[in-house]
Amino acid sequence: MPTCKISRLQKFFFQAALATYAAGKKAERPPDRPWVKQLTHHGEGELSGLVYVDEYHTNGEWSGGSTVIASAEDLSHPIWLMQYCGWCKDDDPEVLAFLKQALLAAYTKGEWNGGRGPGEFAEDKENGLVYMNWPLMPPFDQSFRSFIGRERIWRQPDRTKDTFWHQYQGWLLGEPE
């Protein structure tokens, strides 16, 4: 079983997350799996040797996917995994752009909330969108090792009607160093 330095993996997660979906990087479609949208990032500097692969699938309003971190030397054995699935009313580009803003708000600060956005984010006053995230994690020093949660977006003033939600979970696939 591989051993993993958690602080290095978490630092790499933020580097990769800031360079892919939340940053607006265009996803590619692997020719052998046209139903997949894929974002890849290779570690740079002290984080070289790590690879981040985010693959997701959509069929209109519903989506699901996974993000893995692996060693560039052995892509067949991921070190860390996050899975997510959910719904976005009408696959609304405005709501998805707001989701990216919320994710960036956490990622730029290096704020770990189950790999998603902050506890609450409401910077979109014009459209009245509000993001909330409820990660359920063990003690902070172990949270990158195992987590589960739910995030949602709604339009003010009606907190009862989601326009977006995701469930997510993740864990370390090895022993910490």
For the full predicted model, state whether its pTM sits above 0.85. yes
Return per-residue pLDDT of the chain as tens, 177 residues: 466 799 999 999 999 999 999 999 999 999 999 999 999 999 999 999 999 999 999 999 999 999 999 999 999 999 999 999 999 999 999 999 999 999 999 999 999 999 999 999 997 667 789 999 999 866 555 588 899 999 999 998 888 899 999 999 999 998 787
How far is residue 29's CA from residue 12's CA, in Å, rounded to a whole number?
A: 23
- Cis link prior to 30 (omega < 30° from 0)? no
H/E stretch holding 168 reads strand 162-172
How far is residue 97's CA from residue 94's CA, in Å, rounded to a whole number?
A: 5
Domain boundaries, the chain: 3-176
Locate 32 and state its tokens: 């052998």
